[in-house]
Amino acid sequence: MSLRLKSFVAAAAVAAGVSLLSAAAQAQQTIKVGILHSLSGTMAISETTLKDVMLMLIEEQNKKGGVLGKKLEPVVVDPASNWPLFAEKAKELLLKDKVAATFGCWTSVSRKSVLPVFEENNGILFYPVQYEGEESSKNIFYTGAAPNQQAIPAVDYLMENEKVQRWVLAGTDYVYPRTTNKILEAYLKAKGVKAEDIMINYTPFGHSDWQTIVSDIKKFGSAGKKTAVVSTINGDANVPFYKELGNQGIKATDIPVVAFSVGEEELAGIDTKPLVGHLAAWNYFQSVDNPDNKAFIEKWKTFTKNPKRVTNDPMEAHVIGFNMWVKAVEKAGTTDPSAVIDALIGVSVPNLSGGYSTMMPNHHITKPVLIGEVKGDGQFNIVSQTPGLVVGDEWSDYLEGSKDLISDWRAPLSCGNFNVKTGKCGGKSVN
């Protein structure tokens, strides 16, 4: 090979190497953010909008210059309402895509599916939906409501304002409704409610034939005592459930339903006129009247290019969680999960219901509790709101084996289930 040719080959090799290094450097100029929500299957009715709001938040942050001088890159996957697939997709996000944080899941069974994946690979998951408690993981930040921030205040409202004496606990057959109802049953009995005044019913995901169950509810409510339904029914099964309530003439004045998983998004696909007066308990409603919420709603409608798109509580939880993550990354000066996990505790950001929400040492946030009545337009009239913010209680005070536990992820405790009686850490994130 001539000297000139050798020089040319060497120069080409150097150029190729520089090009590869440049590509690698370019790849490192973005911070990847995982979005783990079902875009198909029974939960798509609720979760698709959470993917959309995350894309909006990332776009907004990039317009502000990104984080630590780098743009954010969303990595969207579809676990398709398939609980084992959630774990597979979570592993891909952490190991293949190397995301700095993930925002995702709706059902507790999907969260429990991914929990060991995030713990084993030291990832960060922001979970935006109300849940049953009885869990505190170092790698999960729970921005949805714990039972004391939703379920128990809803029961208190019905007892005090509707004078309810008989209770139907109706839920989808999985961990969130079963554990929440276990807590509520213990709470009701502690309040003096007799076992015969509590009816519990579970149905599978996507259940569509509600005629017999609604008939049973109607019969249970005809015993001369004020009756209410506490609903932990999830996903698209809510559509035929509420439709059957209307078909059988069950009005809110007769047997009020308070739902924990039905918000503006779910009501958007239902004729709400027969449902007027039924209730939902959340920590945010689109009808919250303040400047921050109005500005958020406008941004949402502009982003989606759809003036009819609604907002809801889990969306607000993602707003809070995302802004907390950004603030913690900037505070830590890095996206390293261990540093960010430590930095997140104590971070406060504005919520959309008024005031600031704070990430507590148990990885739960402070939230107001709101009760809303369904209006004919699918929005909610807020009939009750706590005067201040409520701290999320990860371990129920009403369950044996839980009432003596606390969670504190700060050093030196660094424990998700510390028993205050024995002085020992259980060593696991769940009971």
342 has a pLDDT exceeding 70: yes
> Is 164 domain-assigned?
yes
23 has a pLDDT exceeding 70: no
133 contacts 179 by C-beta, under 8 angstroms: yes
> Is 13 domain-assigned?
no
> Is 423 domain-assigned?
no
pLDDT of residue 8: 46
113-149 residue pLDDT tens: 999 999 999 999 999 999 999 999 999 999 999 999 9
17 has a pLDDT exceeding 60: no
> Is 392 domain-assigned?
no
pLDDT of residue 24: 44
284-328 residue pLDDT tens: 999 999 999 999 999 999 999 999 999 999 999 999 999 999 999
Average pLDDT over the chain reads: 92
CATH number at residue 259: 3.40.50.2300
> Is 230 domain-assigned?
yes
- Angle between the 291-304 and 44-63 helix axes, to the nearest 10 degrees? 100
Domain count across the chain = 1
pLDDT of residue 307: 94
pLDDT of residue 331: 98
249-270 residue pLDDT tens: 999 999 999 999 889 988 887 7
Residue 193 lies in domain: 149-282
Find the mean pLDDT for residues 363-380.
95
> Is 429 domain-assigned?
no
% of residues, the chain, pLDDT over 70: 92
The position carrying tokens 């698709």 is: 48
Tell me which H or E stretch contains 119. Answer: helix 108-120
Q: How confident is the model at residue 236 (pLDDT cuts 50, 70, 90)?
A: confident
7 has a pLDDT exceeding 80: no
211 contacts 151 by C-beta, under 8 angstroms: no
257 contacts 245 by C-beta, under 8 angstroms: yes
Strands (DSSP E) contained in 299-425 are 348-350, 356-358, 366-367, 370-374, 380-385, 390-391, 405-408, 415-419, 424-425
Q: How confident is the model at residue 21 (pLDDT cuts 50, 70, 90)?
A: very low
> Is 94 domain-assigned?
no
95 has a pLDDT exceeding 80: yes
pLDDT of residue 265: 86
Q: Which phi and psi angles does 125 have, rounded to 5°?
A: -120, 130
pLDDT of residue 291: 95
> Is 234 domain-assigned?
yes
